[in-house]
Amino acid sequence: MKLDQKIINKLKKITGDKHFTTAREDLICYSYDATGVEYLPEAVIFPGNREEISAIMTLATSAGFPVVPRGAGSGFVGGALPVEGGLVMSLKRLNRILEIDRDNMTALVEPGVVTGHLQKEVENIDLFYPPDPSSLKFCTIGGNVAMGSGGPRAVKYGVTRDYVMGLEVVLPTGEVISTGTKTAKGVVGYDLTRLMVGSEGTLGIVTKILLRLIPKPQSKITLLVEFPDTIHAGRAVSAIMASGVIPSVLELIDESTLRCIRSNLSDPPAEDVKAILLIEADGSETAIAEDSLVIERLCREHGAVRIKKSKDKKESEDLWATRRSISPSLYKLATKKINEDIAVPRDKVAELIEGLGKIAEKYGVIMANFGHAGDGNIHVNIMINKGNEEEERRGAEAVKAVFKWALDLNGTISGEHGVGISKQPYIEMELSPKEILLMEGIKKVFDPSNILNPGKIFPSKVLKND
């Protein structure tokens, strides 16, 4: 269903001309995300409240045009791309922190709130919101909720899903529901809150988010541990996680990745260092001192050649700035990045890393691996050159092999990025036909006309209108 002038006039009436556009230069800005793939929408709208969103969705269901909700567009799987055209709905105007309740340790926010901004606000009053995607300086809470985002601190604190207590949601039909409770416990009916988190904007549009906060840790320490190779580093990860000590962050950086960021380090490792673990422990001064001793001992037992401790907050922040710079730095290796985020059980990390090396060798591709080794979530980046058909072919084959290897280790093909369109062709590797059928049924209950973010998650043959 195309947006004809009659529909366009109705949309303008809902938000006002100022908050609606069909100008090509504006459409281009909302046609892509971090995948680099582009789909041009027919229009972009910027609602300012729940009532406007409800009116837009009522019109969309009645007229039959697709609506794609969008946060900051920082996703890696194409979840916010208008693959069937239609209307992109930007939620950037809904950007208020509505309440921070110190007594109950909760925050009520709108979806357009930038994640890093919320973290700073709550830390000013000694509270803590742990989920920390690498894009936290510009990604939004609404996008985090839609994609079920994680981050380095997930190893100790969990992911976005673990902090969402309740939601206000506009359904595709325009109806509004509230899910969850502000209480610590609540088991009345099905858990619609957890269903919505990670649903990639296919079931409803979130307009308010009630988040759980925790007390801010008193102190923290950051360790940079150098290893002769990723195998030794992977074994150290497994040993640390089996020891009972749970660091707040445990990140792995392999040889290919290290080559890209070596010059960014104030004290770069020797050339024979082929892997790094970036480890953070937080809590009381006594607890982190004890934990760091255990971590250092286990790292040395598994081949660490040098261990450096951050001297102060600035040095720690510099290390994390370097970590967050990894993704764009990888383009030093090749002009195109195939970014995957498999996850395996924690005790399989070393085995996973060893297998990835064999896959890279078999298919003749450059593979850069880094990420959240502490919870088994590794970002596998297959680097190829744009326009090289042979490299494109080998890269695609390597992706499928990487997914199969993760599943063979009882893992998953996506730890935190979601499915979107990038992993859509592979979803049947992990989910059974019955599981997909059940999910299809859920989608149809929420969105009988299939107008909300259509063309995502499920294989194209699944969600066809009857």
Asked if residue 239 and residue 132 are part of one domain, the reply reads no
Whether 455 is in a domain gets the answer no
Whether 456 is in a domain gets the answer no
Whether 176 is in a domain gets the answer yes
Asked if residue 202 and residue 101 are part of one domain, the reply reads yes
According to the model, what pLDDT value does residue 461 have? 53
Asked if residue 373 and residue 393 are part of one domain, the reply reads yes
Asked if residue 303 and residue 366 are part of one domain, the reply reads no
Asked if residue 115 and residue 62 are part of one domain, the reply reads no
pLDDT in tens, the chain (466 residues): 789 999 999 999 999 999 999 999 999 999 999 988 999 999 999 999 999 999 999 999 999 999 999 999 999 999 999 999 999 999 999 999 999 999 999 999 999 999 999 999 999 999 999 999 989 999 999 999 999 999 999 999 999 999 999 999 999 999 999 999 999 999 999 999 999 999 999 999 999 999 999 999 999 999 999 999 999 999 999 999 999 999 999 999 999 999 999 888 888 899 999 999 999 999 999 999 999 999 999 999 999 999 999 878 888 888 877 887 888 899 999 999 999 999 999 889 989 999 999 999 999 999 999 999 999 999 999 999 999 999 999 999 999 999 999 999 999 999 999 999 999 999 999 999 999 999 999 999 999 999 999 999 998 654 444 4
Residue that is last in its domain, among 156, 189, 215: 215
Residue that is last in its domain, among 196, 215, 234: 215
Asked if residue 364 and residue 300 are part of one domain, the reply reads no
Q: Which two tokens stand for residue 371?
A: 């990420």
Q: Which two tokens stand for residue 124?
A: 């000013």
Residue 161: which of 181, 147, 177 has the closest Cα? 147
Which CATH number belongs to the domain containing residue 350 in this structure? 3.30.70.2740
Residue that is last in its domain, among 408, 439, 457: 408
CA–CA distance, 399 with 338 (Å, rounded to integer): 8
Asked if residue 400 and residue 319 are part of one domain, the reply reads no
According to the model, what pLDDT value does residue 53 have? 98
Degrees (nearest 5) of the Cα angle 283, 417, 121? Answer: 45
Question: What is the β-pairing status of strands 67-70 and 306-309?
Answer: unpaired
Whether 285 is in a domain gets the answer yes
Which CATH number belongs to the domain containing residue 237 in this structure? 3.30.70.2190
CA–CA distance, 415 with 194 (Å, rounded to integer): 16
Give me the helix-helix angle, 5-15 and 50-63, nearest 10°: 170
Asked if residue 26 and residue 49 are part of one domain, the reply reads yes
According to the model, what pLDDT value does residue 416 have? 95
Whether 66 is in a domain gets the answer yes
Whether 117 is in a domain gets the answer yes
Asked if residue 209 and residue 116 are part of one domain, the reply reads yes
Asked if residue 317 and residue 341 are part of one domain, the reply reads no
Asked if residue 196 and residue 110 are part of one domain, the reply reads yes
According to the model, what pLDDT value does residue 466 have? 40
Which CATH number belongs to the domain containing residue 21 in this structure? 3.30.43.10
Give the Cβ contact number of residue 328 at 10 Å. 10
Distance of CA 298 to the CA centre of its chain: 30
Range of the domain at 140: 97-215
Give the Cβ contact number of residue 332 at 10 Å. 13
Whether 56 is in a domain gets the answer yes
pTM assigned to the model:
0.94
Residue 352: which of 227, 234, 250 has the closest Cα? 234
Whether 417 is in a domain gets the answer no
CA–CA distance, 74 with 35 (Å, rounded to integer): 9
- Tally the domains of the chain: 4
CA–CA distance, 7 with 328 (Å, rounded to integer): 40
Asked if residue 65 and residue 111 are part of one domain, the reply reads no
